[in-house]
Amino acid sequence: MFELILMLIIGLLFCFLGWRIWKKQQITLIHDYHYKKVSESDKKPYTEKMGKACMIMGLGMILTGIIDFISETSYGWVFFAVFFVIGFRMMLVAQKKYNGGLF
């Protein structure tokens, strides 16, 4: 039960932050050195990609908690790994494309 509650809380937090970054274009939720080279015209696609990636990671956390709780196994961690890798890759691609590198 603890894992379910913890993963739901953290997953929902990631989804909320991702939504704020994506829909509200709140780029300040990302550390400033990650977006200091992003041009003004690229801020919208950059925040869209970063926000979606964050939401994908959050969805993976939510699914992990639910699947582990329902099945009473650790199979949910497979979802965590897959969604985390997908989200992280999306972030890396957006960083390289719009910021010119990771930092």
Rounded Cα distance between 21 and 87, Å, is 14
For residues 49 and 36, is the Cβ–Cβ distance under 8 A? no
pLDDT at res. 38:
80
* pLDDT, tens only, 60-72: 999 999 999 999 8
pLDDT tens digits, 8-41: 999 999 999 999 999 998 888 888 777 777 878 8
pLDDT number for residue 7:
94
Q: What is the mean pLDDT of residues 40-44?
A: 86
| CB atoms inside a 10 Å sphere around CB 17 | 19
Residue 45: predicted pLDDT: 92
Give the C-alpha separation, 28 to 19, whole Å: 13
Buried b (16+ CB within 10 A) or exposed e, 24-54: eeebeebeeebbeebeeeeeeebbebbbbbb
Q: What is the mean pLDDT of the chain?
A: 90
- Say whether pLDDT at 103 is over 70: no
Say what the pTM is. Answer: 0.87
Structure tokens at 4: 């379910």
What pLDDT sits at residue 88?
96
